[in-house]
Amino acid sequence: MSKQELAELMTFICACFPNFEATEPTIMAWEKLLSSYAFDDVKEGIMNFVKERNSAFAPTVSQAVAETKAVTSKRLRAEANEKLFKNRRKELRERRPVALLAQLEERLRG
């Protein structure tokens, strides 16, 4: 996550939680702990926090990490399932003509 993306995230959190103060130490902690995650996953995690929890307080950085991990895990599972599905369809397409040919040959012999 870039510094510009972090600034966008801090602006979003400040807009949702007026009592949240994006101080320099807070920004540094968020940057350090969330820099290895994709910005879209972090933002979605924060949005989930805002939508699903009835909290007057902004998420802590540890809550943001937990929400982000959940989003990332869900996304990776979906991508893996999609890849598996595509590979299975490809495999079936490749085998289908062979199976049909075998059936035709069997009918011609019979």
From first to last of the 110 residues of the chain, give the pLDDT tens digit.
888 999 999 999 999 999 999 999 999 999 999 999 999 999 999 999 999 998 999 999 999 999 999 999 999 999 998 888 887 777 767 766 767 777 778 888 86
Ranges assigned E (strand) in 4-71: none
In a domain, 99, yes or no: no
Give a yes or no: residue 96 inside a domain.
no
Domain assignment present for residue 108? The answer is no
Residue with tokens 């989003």, as numbered in its chain: 71
Q: Helix axis angle, 3-16 relative to 24-34, nearest 10°?
A: 120
Instruction: Count how many domains the chain has.
Output: 1
105 occurs within a structural domain: no
* Pair 3, 24: CB distance under 8 Å: no
Please identify which residue in the block is written with the tokens 């495999």.
91
Instruction: Give pLDDT, residue 96.
Output: 67
Task: Please give the DSSP secondary-structure letter assigned to residue 37.
Answer: S
Structural domain includes residue 87: no
Range of the structural domain that residue 62 is part of: 3-81
